[in-house]
Amino acid sequence: MMLTESQQQDLEHRLIELRRSLHRIPELAYQELRTSDLVCQRLEALGIPFICGLAKTGVVGVITKGSGGPCIALRADMDALPITEHNRFEHVSRHAGCMHACGHDGHMAMLLGGAELISRQLDFNGTVCLVFQPAEEGHAGARAMLDDGLLERFPIQAIAGLHNWPSLPAHSFATRPGALMASSNKFEIHLEGRGGHAAQPHIATNPITAAAQLCLGLQALVASEVNACEGAVLTVTELQAGNGFNVIPDRVAIRGTVRAFDSLAVERLAGAIERLSEGIGRAFGCQATVDFRRSYPALINHSFMVGLALEAARQVFAPQQVSALAEPTMAAEDFAFYSERIPSVFAFIGSARHPDEPPLHSAHYDFNDAILYSGAAWFASFAATCFAALSATNDLGGHANVSGQR
């Protein structure tokens, strides 16, 4: 992309205005109506055809040049979080109790900037699908897009995504082959005892005592069930019981999460949670029931796609700021549903302005506008790099499961 300095500055200014406009109107999963309308308006202004309404509020822009050729996709997420924003700047959220606290406003702006560069600056033979996806934050919008026929409507051969990362310095880029982000799984345990008066515990069965033992046991499961060389996390996050200082309740609820890169580790932990819950429940005279739910799979990067992402990054970022060994994280991303179906790559773009940068999902977080152009340029550079590679290899695995190619 050969932009003059003034052209680059003009694009940067417009992306900042766009990002802040999106920040003002955060919307929760599958409610991104104003957000998708604004995305559609920008695509229309660029002369890029699109379809809307995929997975309720999703938008797919389509840039086609030449005749035939490969089809690739670039993805940005659109939804916000149910957080009350504590910032005081002019573009603060106007929707009470809702906030772009994960940078999806910036992701959309970067992809729309990339769309402008691709449509106006790149020559290629093929199609770029611009996937604006709803409901990433725990509601599996990627799976909904796939279920609604994304791959049937578009013959996508490869897909890439980018996420801002406040733990990395601004203007840096990092990814890695294989496991980058963990699977996300939820568990809910109910312990049923027999309520009574707190002064007469001998004629009641107190499920809180069982729950206390169970919480301690749960926190030790990873060490006993998972190979120390593998990554896994089990965290108890919620305990609900009782409503009076002198009342023994009938029931206790324990909730938490399991994160791992390997599906077998998840299976082992799921089985161990059930065994431990039932055993401790019996030991304390309680009935235990366990509900274990698998939410997002692990995000596995396709090794060949990682090479293309890094090649594109070296055209945008300083060489010393490009890392091929990103640190894996126990955070989860529903981009993983795409990686199960087609060759894919997900990467982090550093966004930290200073060492004490507010983290993702903080009520004080705000996207770093200084990285918008770099993200847009990477999307465009990746498209060019990917088309060059696909024209040589023709196919990276199509729509088949690519687990053997990771």
pLDDT tens-digit readout, 248-306 = 999 999 999 999 999 999 999 999 999 999 999 999 999 999 999 999 999 999 999 99
- The Cα–Cα gap between 255 and 285 comes to 21
Which residues neighbour 152 within 8 Å (Cβ) at sequence distance 6 or greater?
none
Which residues neighbour 359 within 8 Å (Cβ) at sequence distance 6 or greater?
166, 167, 365
* Torsion angle, alpha carbons of 239, 242, 245, 250, to 10: -130
Across residues 29-36, what is the average pLDDT?
Answer: 98
Are the CB atoms for 142 and 134 separated by under 8 Å?
no
Mean pLDDT (the chain) is 95
Mind listing the pLDDT tens digit for each residue in 89-108? Answer: 999 999 999 999 999 999 99
Determine the longest span between alpha carbons in the chain, in angstroms.
82
- Count CB neighbours of 349 within 10 A: 28
The first and second tokens of residue 367, run together, are 């996207």
Q: What is the pTM of this model?
A: 0.93
